Structure 1
């Protein structure tokens, strides 16, 4: 199954200047729990935003940069090639950024969205989730607290 996973503001903002705009520790824990042990597909800028590769995951990086290398990672130049190197019998996660989500959406079977209940100024955005194509099957609301500055919901969508 191909799963897109993202934390997305009400106005679909994902980040600004190659960084997340918010800090939600519970969302990081959920991301780690869902993606550990799997292939994760991302763009080069997303990969470069990490201090180091994420442990216990196979990194597949999509880039147009010729000769790009990242130790221990698989480098490809298209979503089709990225998906081709991932095992078909396991979940594969598309983890961003904005352009990768846009080109990955037609391939996705499921969306794992953390909806941050606030609007933010960003320079990367998640594509619009079309109600005609996607059905929400889980929504779990979480109120802000001392570690989370914004209310947020975990939302799971499946393709209709």
Structure 2
């Protein structure tokens, strides 16, 4: 099964100058709960923001660079290789990988942050009518999670 996980703000903003433009610990906890024990696939730019593999999951970098290697990361060179990865696979970003892999995705885990931020990286538009909302959970705002947010799980309609 190919899943996708993303947090985006208004206007589908997912990044600014190589980083997330917000701090939302509840979303990072949610991401950890969902992806631990599974595989995450990211592009090279997302890899560069991490610097080290996320623990307790298989970390895969999708890059066209045939000579790329990084300790703790597996490497694939085409979007089609995602389907041959065993177990549950999460498309982890960034924008280019989301766009390229959208046709492979069976389900999406989307954290929608109800705030506006400056951004230069965006989650691609999608037709909500092609998806069923399996769950919608309003996140709790507090001192550490200052922005209103909602966790969605969507599955592709057949």
The TM tier, using the shorter chain, reads over 0.9
- What does residue range 1-150 of structure 1 map to in structure 2 within 5 Å? 1-84=1-84, 86-87=85-86, 90-150=87-147
Deviation readout 1:20-61 (Å, 9 max, x if unpaired): 111111111110111011111000111111142100111111
Query: Partners of 1:111 and 1:105 in 2: how far apart?
Result: 10
CA positional deviation for 1:72: 2.6
Runs of 4+ in 1 over 6 A off after TM superposition: none
Alpha-carbon RMSD across the aligned residues, in angstroms, is 1.2
Q: TM-score, normalised by structure 1?
A: 0.93
Gaps of 5+ in 2: none
Instruction: Specify the SS of the correspondent of 1:19.
Output: coil
Contact 2:52/2:72 (<8 A) preserved = no
Q: TM-score, normalised by structure 2?
A: 0.94
Query: Partners of 2:107 and 2:73 in 1: how far apart?
Result: 24
CA positional deviation for 1:93: 0.6
